[in-house]
Amino acid sequence: RVNCKNGSMVTGYLDYICWEAIKGIYNYKSFKEKFLQEKEKNQNQLDLNLKQIQYHIKQKLEQDKQISNIRKGYKLGLFDDASAVKDMDECKATKEKLDKLILELEAANLVLKAKLEQDFSKYQIPDCEPSYEEKKAIFKDLIEEARIYSYGFYKRTIQLVLKMGLTFNICYNGNQT
């Protein structure tokens, strides 16, 4: 609030009007559609990750075959010491990169599986009035960004950008409250 030229707002009233604006958000058809789209997108990403993991495992097996062939070639005298060591090191480095990629994909899959296991019924706000802490948790879950624009001394617009892609613009006249 240092050097802020905006007038003050009663935070309790601000909480109240924001809550009134978003408390029925889960009932919007667009939220249900967005939830289903997100679930489908996560399933597609999970399938893609599983295919990539299988591909990387095949690549690791190819590297193992190549290492085996280098060893056989070295025993038969087809490779000298320097080239055999160099080729083996390249194969081992490639296998390590593939291992890292597989671990990253598996970690991403854990998150995706958790998102897929979510049920839409979880997103229902109870019919009773939630406590202040529950409202705060719901706000954190829903709101990506909140801004207050001042137009004159009393007029404000509160913009709530929700994570689901909706934006609420709430007009507030502090002179009338």
Element (H, E) at 173: strand 167-173
The predicted-structure confidence for 114-171, as pLDDT tens digits, reads as follows: 777 766 555 555 556 777 777 777 777 778 888 888 877 778 888 888 877 778 888 8
Q: What percent of the chain has pLDDT over 90?
A: 21
The predicted-structure confidence for 2-26, as pLDDT tens digits, reads as follows: 455 555 666 777 778 777 777 777 6
pLDDT at 1: 45
Tokens coding 131: 């406590």
pLDDT at 53: 93
Q: In which residue are the tokens 């719901």 written?
A: 138
- On whether the CB atoms of residues 148 and 158 are closer than 8 A, the answer is yes
- On whether the CB atoms of residues 123 and 35 are closer than 8 A, the answer is yes
- pTM exceeds 0.75: no
